Amino acid sequence: MTALACLLTLLVSTGAGGAAPRPLEVVLQDDAHLLHGSDAEVRRAAREIAAAGADRVRLTASWSALAPRPRSRRRPRFDATDPGVYPAEPWRRLDRAVKAVRDHGMDVMIDVAFWAPRWAVRRGLRRGLRDRQRWAPSWREYGRFAEAVARRYSGSWPDPARPGGTLPAVRLWTTWNEPNHAGFLLPQWRRTRTGWRPASPHVYRRLHEAGYAAIKGVSPANRVLVGGLAARGARGRGERVSLPPLRFTRELACVDEHLRPLRVPECRGYRPLRADGFAIHPYSLDSAPDASGRDPDSVQLGDLDRLSGLLAALHARGRIAERLPLYVTEYGYESNPPDTKRGVSPEDQARYLAHATYLAWRHPDTRMFAQFLLRDIGPDPRHADDAERRWGNWQSGLYTHDGRAKPALQAFKLPFWAETHEVDGRLVTVVFGQVRPGRGRQTVTIEYQEPDGRWVEARSRDARPGADTACEHEGRAFLTDRAGFYHRVLPWRGERAYRARWLRPDGRVEYGLPVVARRVAAGG
């Protein structure tokens, strides 16, 4: 065997090779353009998302946007499970987005989500929040709405815009969005005789149970995710103080910090939570993707083990019906510029997205990774250039708001990461990447940069556990797996920059962004 083959054998046998081959679906969300743009903008957005290589698009079925008379205190008289009696125009916008995504070869997931109509909440919000009602929504009404949405996208509902046709089927769903965040669900805490006690997990549990039953009732083929939690909470107690995700999850499962059953009225008659996966939004904000949150109950991307460990323990104790895989359904980095108040540089945004893809891929419980926004939302023209609120919206897109590609676009299409590992006293370079555009196995070559600036093809071998280590398979160009992923090992050549070269099916060549291989401690 060659020295490289021997090193590969060591790498795999010691576990430094990382994750075994498995699917990692990539989802992108941009409601601003897909739900609220013109017909031409929707088609363009779907085309650009498909060209960037996303597998699926996440869309919001907003209860308050779709429901009749959402500002009324009095519930309209209608069958809320029948999508045919809802106002037509809001459905048209959601139909249009679902069809555009499917027409471009991608799948859809739908959040049956925020906010609620006024007639479905226990207490109304005022002072500019009339369209963001979220105070203890009725779980019964939510279940009826979830059934209506699932029926419309069951695959058999007539398409109003295509006589004789039917709307596409949607088979992946989430219930609500960030229920541990005060901006999406209230109250977060409730004052009792003995002090403040979490409220939102118990409100959300009833919402999820109703939504899960309704969506599964339309079709057992539907998969329903629970959670969709924000990465962190806030300090203190109060109706509008957001809960950290692990505290929220324990309360959702009706256990205390020691995983013992809670003896509170909201947990009487508790039944094991049912779901097909757990959704999380593990934003790292301006930190590197592998950074850990200071609060032990937070879940940044570098903390996924915290969440998967808790879910495993809850399943083992019978609090959750199934062992739940993780679905990262929202993630991204804001770039500065264009934002002038927050975010990372455009170069760091690209680098962090590539590294984050690798971390999600190698985490054994993670089934989905996400990019939030195709295009930046842009500045708020109502505020002056130097005003704090001018850049209050998200600027985490792959394009700027006026359509210019950021470095993040190439990092999304061809995510690439490189690390140096020490194995039994020897150094090797391990690279990870994916070709997202296109279908099937793709041809890739790894290159390294010489001190004089020249790029040179590198010999590499498959670094995944169980890979064939026969010497004749060592080479330069290689094929990815069917999902475009690869994980390769190369001889160490000192501190070098590496990049991936993709030979496109049309014969053209495209390059990933270069990465300098960083040294990783043993076990890292």
- Which CATH number characterizes residue 430's domain? 2.60.40
In a domain, 510, yes or no: yes
Closest C-alpha to 303, from 312, 294, 314, 315 = 294
**Structure confidence at residue 22 (pLDDT):** 62
Measured in degrees and rounded to the nearest 5, phi and psi for residue 488 equal -125, 155
Residue 443 lies in a domain: yes
The reported pLDDT for the residue numbered 465 is: 64
**First CA to last CA across the chain, in angstroms?**
27
Do the domain assignments include residue 435? yes
**What pLDDT does residue 425 have?**
87
Q: Is residue 386 part of a domain?
A: no
Range of the domain at 455: 3-16+416-519
What pLDDT is attached to residue 13? 36
Q: Ramachandran region of residue 212, left (φ > 0), alpha (ψ -120 to 50) or beta?
A: alpha
Supply 152's token pair: 């419309």
Task: Give the DSSP H/E element, type plus range, for residue 286.
Answer: none
Residue whose entry in the numeric block shows the structure tokens 């049912």: 274
pLDDT of residue 474: 54
Domain for residue 468, yes or no?
yes
Rounded-to-integer distance, Cα 192 and Cα 197, Å: 7
Concatenated DSSP letters of 369-432: EEEE-SB-----TTS-TT-GGGG-S----SB-TTSPBPHHHHHHHS-EEEEEEEETTEEEEEEE
Query: What secondary structure does DSSP assign to 427-473, as a single string?
Result: EEEEEEEE--SSSS--EEEEEEE-TTS-EEE--BEE-STT----GGG
Backbone phi, psi, residue 138, to 5°: -65, 125
Instruction: Tell me the three state secondary structure of residue 217.
Output: helix
Tokens at residue 104, please? 């471009």
d(CA 99, CA 294): 42
**Structural domain contains residue 59:** no
- What is residue 17's predicted lDDT score, i.e. its pLDDT? 44
- Tally the domains of the chain: 1
Q: Which helix (H) or strand (E) holds 56?
A: strand 56-62
Chain center to CA of 391? 23
28 sits in which H/E element: strand 25-29
> Which of 47, 149, 56, 28 lies closest to 100 in space, CA to CA?
47
pLDDT tens track, the chain, 524 positions: 344 444 444 444 333 444 445 679 999 999 999 999 999 999 999 999 999 999 999 999 999 999 999 999 999 999 999 999 999 999 999 999 999 999 999 999 999 999 999 999 999 998 778 899 999 999 999 999 999 999 999 999 999 999 999 999 999 999 999 999 999 999 999 999 989 999 999 999 999 999 999 999 999 999 999 999 999 999 999 999 999 999 999 999 999 999 999 999 999 999 999 999 999 999 999 999 999 999 999 999 999 999 999 999 999 999 999 999 999 999 999 999 999 989 999 999 999 999 999 999 999 999 999 999 999 999 988 888 878 788 889 999 999 999 999 999 999 999 999 999 998 889 999 999 999 998 899 999 999 999 999 999 999 999 876 554 443 345 699 999 999 999 999 999 988 999 999 999 999 999 999 999 988 876 56
